[in-house]
Structure 1
Amino acid sequence: MTTDHVGVSRTPEAPTRPSHRKDPMPNAFAVRRTDQRTLSQRRRHERGFVTAELAVTLPVIITVLALALGAQAAVAAKIRTIDSAHIAVLAASRGGQPHKASAAQLPESAELAIEREGDIVTASVTASVRPWGPLSPEFHLRSEASAAQQQRPRSLPQ
């Protein structure tokens, strides 16, 4: 038995190669451990990283979601003002009651104005919207629609 420089005894039947020489036929599938720590030690060392990353990204995700929902509410209100302006101008051009016709589509706190200039009827709807609630900034929306005055059909001769 011999003892090498680390103090490990070896039998003469199993000679060891010096570690500074390269293996003449390296095994391509051999796994070399560069990190001598065990898996549980590495997991213990990395504990808390996911919590820290979640603490940073969660407020960002919530803010982006709130902005997206507010933008969707503002776009929905704009579409309602456009629809109510179109309904009101069609009713006014046919000689009907534009306020009654567009009442279902008007957003809250919206104002409807009808103007007649010659044969052209114009309906304008203005509304103020707070998409994120009472503490958010107010957006002013305005939509206009125009149509030609339509003639009422004459009674047909009998």
Structure 2
Amino acid sequence: MAGCERRADRGFVTAESALVLPVLAMFATALVWGLMVVAAQIQCVDAARTGARAAARQDPPDAVVEVTREAAPRGARVTVNREADRVRVVVVARPPVLHGLPFELREEAVAAAEETVGEAA
């Protein structure tokens, strides 16, 4: 009786592995992609802050955009605006690897222009 049960179970491990391994591979791929997206978002944060600091120091607009692009993910769009006594830098990038997804990574930083810092209101 015991020998009959062993023969009936034979092959189940192979079938289960054939189903589980692709799921594990997809999960690992999604995890790596998610980490890449988080890393790109952090790059956007750093780039926006770097650009806002440069713009607040009254660096030339071309230099601000160049410094921001160097810190941003590849292919990111950079926008620099001045609003009264503040500068605003926006960095927008596509997610890495899967460019067809319908979302973008976006980060914005605002800084007070140095010429206005410390002035009485």
Q: Same fold (TM over 0.5)?
A: yes
Equivalent residue for 2:41, pick from 78, 88, 101: 78
2:119 aligned partner: none
Hey, which of these two has a bigger chunk of helix by percent?
2
Q: How many Å apart are 1:103 and its aligned residue?
A: 2.9
Residue ranges of structure 2 left out of the alignment (5+ in a row): 117-121
Give the Cα–Cα distance (whole angstroms) in 1 for the partners of residues 97 and 66 of structure 2. Answer: 26
Residue ranges of structure 1 left out of the alignment (5+ in a row): 1-35, 153-158
Greater Rg over alpha carbons, structure: 1
Equivalent residue for 1:93, pick from 49, 56, 59: 56
Give the Cα–Cα distance (whole angstroms) in 2 for the partners of residues 75 and 95 of structure 1. Answer: 31
Give the Cα–Cα distance (whole angstroms) in 2 for the partners of residues 58 and 86 of structure 1. Answer: 42
The DSSP-based 3-state class of the residue aligned with 1:103 is helix
1:120 aligned partner: 86
Q: How many Å apart are 1:139 and its aligned residue?
A: 2.9
- Sequence identity, in percent? 33
The DSSP-based 3-state class of the residue aligned with 2:58 is coil
Structure with bigger RCO (C-alpha 8 Å, 6+ apart): 2
Query: TM-score, normalising length from structure 2?
Result: 0.81
- The aligned length equals 113
> Which 4+ runs in 1 deviate beyond 4 A?
none
Aligned-partner residue type, residue 151 of structure 1: E
